[in-house]
Amino acid sequence: MSDLKRLVSKRWIIWTVGIVGGIVLLVLLASWVLPGFFKNQLDSSLKESVREASDGLYSIDYNDLSINILLGNAEVSDVVLRSDSTIYQKLVEQKKAPDQVASLRTESLRLEGVSILRLLLFKSLSINEILIESPYVTLAVDKKPYNTDRPKKSPYQIISKVLKSIQIDRISLTSVDFTYINNNGEKSKENHLQELYVDVSDFLLNEETAQDTSLIMFSQQIKIRLKGLTLDPGNDQYTFNMQELELSSRDSTIKVQNVHYKPRYGKDQFSKVLGISKDRYDFRFENITARRVDVRRFLMQQQLFAKVLEVDKGLMDVYRDRRYPDPKESKMGTYPHQLLKQAKFVVRFDTVRIRGTEVYYGERSDKTGLRGVVKFTGTRGTITNLTNDTATIAERPYCRVRAYSSFMGQSRIDAYFNFNLAANNGAFNCGGTMRNFKIAHVNPVIRALAKASVESGDLNMLQFKIQANSYRSHIITQMHYNNLKVDVLKQDKESGELKERSFLTNLLNGLFIKNNNPSGNKPPRVGEATIDRQPTDSFFNLIWQSILGSFKGIVTGKENDD
């Protein structure tokens, strides 16, 4: 190799090493100098932006902010977002206070894949992922009347002074300890969630997406999962728990597992603790799924509108201990559809499908001290137009229920309820049909509540129709049966055992009880009764008393005098 070639080769090596070394030196200097520069810039900008966007209501503090320029990563430790009570009170006096006030505290907030060049050159914040682990979040809600019609700044209007767009591929909040405080009522109500998970995908806020109504919170997908959810039931005698709730905006579904509206006391202790005879409700459902949910309405307005609600494997157990005095307070206005209308949480389900649900109504008699339970097993059916939305009720005033069940585990009963949601007097009508039933199967109920038992009797057909409102019910019943014989019982004072009273049994069957209906060539007897509702009677008790009252005219051949 000539001397000239060796010289050129050495120069290229020197230049190459010099350029690479210079780049490495610049990178090292940048990685050493720029993080401090950006840290100071970001620190001041972030704190100032939070103050300006909230009119001074919020401030953000943290212990340390570390930045990796090469990877575009940043981590903030010991983050605290808090509100200023003095500023809030001033905003209240100026009628500018928001409906919600929040606070947040977390040990770590991580940002990955932050594009520094896009931020500097285009004022566009682009992030691959934001991860917040185990934060403590509190949200207090106190809705102000002046905020209802006041024009509000959109999120894009708030950021447009500083940024042209914000793009985040994923936002993940894990194991959130969340407290929700509702200050709208006379008394503050607090709900606490210990395990809340939020996953947001493809978040994009810019001038275009700010006008896109198809997006929910400017994201393509939002998933929310709650574990161990405990809500305030609004009653000190009950608890309301859910094992898990999951929401998916992409699938438009809400799934709930193991819902339990549970009394705090057992059946023998409930009325004893209260000192009065009162209906005890125990409702459990394994799986509830809402499909085709209006997720935007649910998240933004806290209203649940869904096309379909599916309820699987449930228990509805209503029980009353008659050994205690009736409560003095009135139960007027407490029919199911009346309570639905009174609820503050607005719902609308076009169709509700119920499968595999058990329905029990039981009483403990004040005369015998024994418990009688009417059971409807394997209940399934549909409910249409289940809502308390006033606009929907104006268009479709009736909520209709169609149910099919096994009465006392022996015979199928078909029942219906039509609730007039628009009526001010709680109007509804209902009815049912049952065939081929051995009447002796209700002996446990009759023995406990009426000191009687059925020796024999075959029910061929039962059909009843009830028209009712908050004040009374009117029932018409057809009941075809044969070979009916009833035993009158007496209770031993010492043992409590029920024994037959032979003389009264023979007298009752010989003079008062009609053994067959129809009898001979006579037309079938029809039972008709009007029952005036006592103010302390519940919805279930009114139906039960109406059915029993209509049996009188059929079984004895005499009209009900009530």
Average confidence score pLDDT of the chain: 83
Alpha-carbon distance of 165 to 218, in angstroms, equals 11
Cα 22 from Cα 181, distance rounded (Å)? 58
Tell the burial category of 428 from Cβ atoms under 10 Å away from its Cβ (0-12, 13-18, 19+): buried
DSSP code at position 216: B
Rounded CA gap, 172 and 198, in Å? 6
Cβ neighbourhood burial of 328 (10 Å; 0-12, 13-18, 19+): exposed
CB 198, CB 219: distance < 8 Å: no
CB 491: neighbour CB atoms within 10 A?
16
**Pick from 108-117, 191-200, 250-259: least confident:** 108-117
Average pLDDT of the segment spanning 398-419 = 94
pLDDT (mean) for 394-422: 95
The pTM of the full predicted model, rounded to 2 decimals, is 0.81
Position 31 pLDDT exceeds 60: no
Of 314, 212, 193, the C-alpha closest to 260 is 314
Question: What are the start-end ranges of the H helices in 54-139?
Answer: 85-93, 116-122
| Residues 470 and 526: beta-carbon distance below 8 Å | no
* pLDDT score of 287: 94
- Report the candidate in 505, 369, 541 with the shortest Cα–Cα distance to residue 449: 369
When mean pLDDT is compared across 2-6, 345-349, 502-506, the lowest value belongs to: 2-6
Q: 501-522: per-residue pLDDT in tens? A: 665 556 555 556 788 999 888 8
Question: What gap in Å lies between CA 215 and CA 128, rounded to an integer?
Answer: 19
Closest CA to 144 of 92, 182, 191, 185: 92
Amino acid at 115: S
For tokens 């009483």, the residue is 363
